[in-house]
Structure formats: C-alpha cells, structure tokens
A and B are shown apart, each in its own frame.
Chain A
Amino acid sequence: MRWPALPLVLLTLAVLIPASAFGHAERYAYFPDHTLGKVPKLRTSGPSLVVCKSDSGRRIAKLKGKALKRNRALLQRCRYHHIQAAVNAAHNGYRILVLPGVYKEEPSRRVPNDNPKCKGDEYEGEEAGTKSYKFQRDCPNVQNLIAIVGDDDDDDRRCDDKCNLQIEGTGRKPQDVQVVGGGYGLKPGAKLNVFRADRADGFTLHNLLVQYSDFNNVYVIETNGFRLDHVISRWSREYGFLTFADDNGLYDHVKAFGSGDSGIYPGSGPEGHCARYGIEIRYSESFGNTIGWSGTAGNGVYTHHSKFHHNSAGITMDSFSGGHPGMPQDCSKWENNRIYSNNNDLFNAKRDKYCKDTPNEKRDPRKVCPTFQVPVGTGILTGGGNGNIFRKNYIYDNWRRGTMLFWVPGTLRGDDPTGQSATPSFYETSHNNQYVANRMGFRPDGKRDPNGVDFWWDEEGGGNCWSGNVGPGGGAFTSDPTPLFACPTGSPNTVGNATKQGELFPCATWDPKTNTDPVGCDWFKRPPEPK
C-alpha cells in the first residue's frame, strides 16, 4: 500500500530532518585505505616484553608441560607489572607477553576522568560528548585502562608507533590471564574501555580474558589490520568487542557474553561494496547478551562457523543511526553459523525495575541491563540493510522470528558529516538480500525446534530473495508473507506493507528509564515457545 501524497512527504522530511552529526559518542572516524594493510599473523618470535604479577609464579606452577617450561623461562624476564607500562615501552612489532595473573592496571585506574591536563578545545571531538584523537594520544588512560594509540601528530591517520603490537596471554587458556576493568558508571577506577586500539595498525590481542568495562571491553578504531584471537569478553555495560571504521580485521575464536548491548559489534564495517569482505569472524560464540552480533553500518563482514545463542536477539545489522560512516549497511555474509534460542528475557518487569532503580556504579556487573531495544526471540534482524547473504545457517528455536527484514527510511539517518556514506534517499534500504539454503526450525541433529515464524519481511524493497531453504525433515519453512520471492530475481521493488511497518514505530520509543514497555509494541515480551 502506498502512503498518500508521497512526493510531498519526501520533500517535507528532507526539510525537517537536518544533517545529523552525532556518532556513537565518538569523534568523526575515517576508514583506512585497505590496500595498505593486512590481517596480522600470530607471531611466536621477535622482540618482546614480559608482564607479570606477584603471584604469577604460583599460577605458573600449576601449568604443565610446554606451558610450564615456557612460562618459567619468561618469568625470569619479567620487568613490568602492568600491561600499559609494557605498551608504553614497546616499539613497533613488539610482542607483549602477559603471564598468568589478574591485571587491574591500578595506575590507569588512578588517572582521573577530569584530568585538567586534558582539557581544552584541541581535546574535544567535533560534537558534544566526544573526544579528539589527540585526547587519546596525549591522555591515553583517562577513558581507557590500556590504550594503544599509534598515530603521531602528522595528519595521515596512520599508525607510526605502537604498530603491529601483539598482546598475548601466555597461559594455557584465556582465563589464565584476566584483565579487569574498574566497573560501571561513577565507580572509582571505572573506564569506558579496557583495551583501546586507536590507529594501531596490526594490533593483535591473543589468549586472554577481559571484563568489566563501562563501555567496551575491547575497542578497535581506525585501525588497518587487527586480530582478536582466542579472547573472551564477559560482562561489559555496553559492548564486548567493538570495532569501528577498521579494515583487514579478524575475529578468530572469540567468545562474548554478558554485554548490555552486543557481544560482538563490527560497526561501520569495511566498504567493500560486495566486492570483498574486510573483516572475518570465525569459530566464535556470543551468548547471554542483549544482542549476540550487531552492527550499525555493519558492512563487508564475513561471519562463518560461529554460534549466536541465548541472547535477546541473535544478530542485528542496521541503518538506524547517523554518525556511522559507510551508510547504509550493506554486503555482509553469514555462512554455516548456528543462530538459535535467542529468547533471553532481559526486558521483563523485574529486570526493568532493577536496571532503572540501581545506579550504574552499584549494579552487579554480571546482571545484564539492556541498552538497546530488540524484539526478544529473534534470530537475525536486518533493519535497513542491502546486499547481505545468509547461506547455509541453522536458525532454530527463536520464538518470535527466525529472521526479520525491514526497511529503514534513509532520510531518517541524516547526512554523514565525514562524507563516507551514500547521500540518503527515502527508499534506499532493504534491497537485494539473499536467504539461501538455510535450515530453519530444526537442530543440526535433525530434531525439530521451531522458530515462531522462519522468515518475516515487511515487504519493502527489490531483489530480496529466498531459495533452497528448508524446514524440519527437509519440508516447508514458514514465512510472513507467503509465498516469498525466489533467487536470483527476487522481489519487485515495492514500498512495503504499511500495517507491518506501522507496528514497528512504537518500539522506537523504548527507553530503559522512562518507557520500558511502549504501548503498541510487543517486542519486549518474550513470546511463548512455539509448538
């Protein structure tokens, strides 16, 4: 159904909505030139610095075999007791070997958040609430427990020092080296980020566990080449792993749980425009978060052989907000993943009350408070994405919908002040998405475990297609609408079903403090398990 007087509406909206100039509380960020970088390899040789704690020897004594021998030898070389101190001493290409222990980074925690040395116009970002790159370079531990900030004061936005650093836990498993943030909100020592890699090309984080950030446990921004490898993130107020305006990235065997927003967030992903994938996520797992994987402008990401389960929503990618270069979202691929049981009831009345009434600094950080609204019980939500491919995934036991695809008017996001996004147009999103050969509503062992409905679409957009998908026993899947359009041609370019779209609008008024259950929106009530 077409809305009345559409041309006038478009004109009106264009007049009413000014250029939006705000990001996710971040300075203007720019994509690196992907041709100048590459995914770093794990190194086992080369210059290194060793970090240990007073009880590392005792912990090492519990190791066995090669790990015991290696760590005993490294303990003799230990000269640092804080990871940040080793980072400060490191040169390009160094490895920082972190021996078993718990690292609280007390000197960083003591850096005040209102450090008078870090005030002035040069330290402010382009818009309110953001800080400049120079701020991070000159005052690395105001916001960050451990900062790797690699670009000097030239204007090329490329790494000059602290490049190709590899920070590596030397235990047998990630849990042997724990890096612990100071907690949430105004709690003394709380920092936005536990790790921040900023223009730190070639950054590698390997074999350790990170927890208790006020925003991101691991944050990588404007970095050309990164590797997050066998890292566990648990309990962060917002994000576990957040990468932003990066390229040549790899998440390998990462695990994320307990994030108020997303476990894994490759937002403002590489602009490969379906010709290449600039970030790969493989053999990873994200659960117990509000969202398992999300990305506003989550472009050019190839995610495969990973599991997203027991979140409120498994995966979301979207074009909801301005301030994210690379809009609209496009060209990510999902293959051979398991997306299941995303029914985590984080929006119930009891949790709402706890999160609303408890100051952040007094919260139990292990109790997740949602900071993003999602339709509980959804496997994959694509809100305003183009050219994404979902192939050969198992999608089951998501009690609302296996997948959701809907349109977001481009004009609502506003202009990108960095000039790295398409000029917004009203019907620019929700085109050419392909759902191919997915297994819907049953587990890998073949046991039936249905979604509420397998495929839900608001019926907007052209070229969207569904082919080769199967339900339990190789039978039919369920969908709304029925039938769907087959690949490769897909749907004709339609403006969508106004009734379906209208159901989404009240959900945008959600607010964890003032409107936890918007009238007219059923997203926040976990649906009953489908029979």
Chain B
Amino acid sequence: MRRCIAGLIAALAVIGCGGEDTGNGDLVWVGKPKVTREATLPRDRVLNGFIRNDGLRRLTLWAKDVRAVDRSGEPLKGNATFIRGYVHPLYPPTRPPAGGLPDSERIRLGQVVKLDPGKQTHLSVAWRLAPGAKAPDRIDYGSGWLPIPDS
C-alpha cells in the first residue's frame, strides 16, 4: 500500500491502487511476462518474467506463497521460484541439515527472495489447469497480486 501512498503524493491524481493492468500491492511486472506451454504437458503453463518492488519497504517473498489463482481466489495446483535458472540443492533433499536449510540456501534455490525497494528479480510460476477449467485470473503472492497477461 505504500506504493499507493507514494503514488498519491507524487501524482496527486491517483484514482486507485493498482488495477487490472498492474495488479495490487508492491510488486509490478518489469516488461511483459511470457506464458509458455510444453507439448507434453497440455494442461500446464509456465509464466516467466521479472518483478520489481515498487513499494517503500523491503519485501520478503516465499515461493510457496506465490500461486496462480482463479476468479474466486482459489489457488491452482502449481509451484513458483524466484531464480532464473535450473539449480540443485547443496544438501540432498532427503538429508537437510538440522534446523532446516539456511536462508542463504533457500535464497539460492529461489524459495525465498528479499527484495529491497526499487530492486527486481525473476519470477517463474507454473500452474495446472483442471480439465475444462478457465485460465487463472492472477498471480497471488500473499500481500498482493499481479495480473496474468494475455499470451
């Protein structure tokens, strides 16, 4: 919401905070994200793009909280990551260290991102459409949402 307040102060003419084009919350797309589909996975879609923190405070985002949701706000089955690349955990997944993965490793794996104001990072979100279901409405990240562009 601070992005909204900042916008008000700056422009003095803001009608609302976010909308169908920009979403709602501190994050905005940088450029247009791209949605792709693999031929072998006809019901799956993968969205890749870059997000920027346009708010005034640092955001900590967890990939597990980022989901494509339908018009009623129900999340579709899927996953998300903040990294732009394929990586592998340093610890075997069945053998995590006591106390769980350290923050640095979670960040490296794209499970979490700490995004300062004005900074940007990659976002990849995958979802699976139920048979006959319509495309999701938006990308929800807990404290806001981003629109899904027409592909």
Within 8 A of B (CB), among A279-324: 296, 318, 320-323
Contacting chain B: which of A21-29, A30-38, A101-109? A21-29
Q: Report yes or no: B88 in contact with A519, Cβ–Cβ below 8 A.
A: no
B78, closest chain A residue (CB): A519
> A503-B36, A506-B81, A509-B81 in contact; A20/B128 too (CB < 8 A)?
no
Chain B, 107-130, CB within 8 A of any chain A CB: 107-110, 113-116, 119-122, 124, 126-128
Query: Which residues of chain B are within 8 angstroms of A406 by Cβ–Cβ distance?
Result: 86
CB 8 Å contact bits of A457-489 with B (1 = contact, 0 = none): 000000000000000000000000000000000
Given contacts A128-B97, A519-B77, A520-B45, contact A505 B31 (CB under 8 A): no
Stretch at the interface among A150-158, A218-226, A343-351, A409-417: A409-417
- The answer to whether A505 touches B81, judged by C-beta atoms less than 8 angstroms apart, is yes
CB pair A322–B90 under 8 Å, yes or no, is yes
Question: Which one, B34, B38, B91, B116, contacts A129 given CB within 8 A?
Answer: B91
Question: Are the CB atoms of A22 and B126 closer together than 8 Å?
Answer: no
What B residues does A408 contact at CB under 8 A?
Answer: 85-87
Q: Which of B78-102 contact A (CB under 8 A)?
A: 78-81, 83-95, 97-99, 102
Q: A8 and B120: CB pair below 8 A? A: yes
User: In the complex, which residues of chain A have a beta carbon less than 8 angstroms from the beta carbon of B120?
Assistant: 5, 8-9, 12
Chain A residues positioned under 8 Å from B50 (CB to CB): 3-5, 9
Who on chain A is nearest to B80 by CB? A509
A253 surroundings in chain B (CB, below 8 A) = none
* Residue of B89, B98, B107, B121 most packed against chain A (CB within 10 A): B89
Task: Flag if B46 contacts A520 (CB, 8 Å).
Answer: yes
A412-B83 contact in complex given A20-B105, A128-B97, C-beta closer than 8 Å? yes
Partner of B41, one of A322, A502, A512, A520: A520
The distance in angstroms between the C-alpha atoms of A431 and B84, with both chains bound, is 18
- Whether A15 pairs with B119 at a CB distance below 8 angstroms is yes
Q: A5-B120, A8-B120, A17-B107 are in contact. Are A502 and B88 (CB under 8 A)?
A: no
**Candidates A17, A372, A499; contact of B34 at CB < 8 Å:** A499
Establish whether residues B104 and A512, one from each chain, have CB atoms under 8 Å apart when the complex forms: no
A323 is contacted by which of B36, B90, B93 (Cβ under 8 Å)? B90
Q: From B30, B45, B88, B115, give the contact of A5 (CB < 8 A).
A: B30
* In the complex, chain A residues whose CB is within 8 Å of the CB of B38: 503, 520, 522
- The yes or no answer to A201 lying at the interface (CB within 8 A) is no
Inter-subunit contact B31/A9 (CB<8 Å):
no
Cβ A18 vs Cβ B104 within 8 A: yes
B44 contacts A by Cβ under 8 Å? yes
Contact A129 B127 (CB under 8 A): no
B24: interface (CB < 8 Å):
no
**Contacts A16-B107, A509-B81, A519-B128 given; does A261 touch B45 at CB 8 Å:** no
Given contacts A498-B34, A509-B79, A520-B127, 9 further A-B contacts (CB under 8 A): A3-B50, A4-B50, A9-B84, A18-B104, A24-B90, A25-B97, A508-B110, A515-B79, A520-B38
Closest 4 CB pairs of A and B: A520-B126, A4-B31, A129-B97, A320-B88
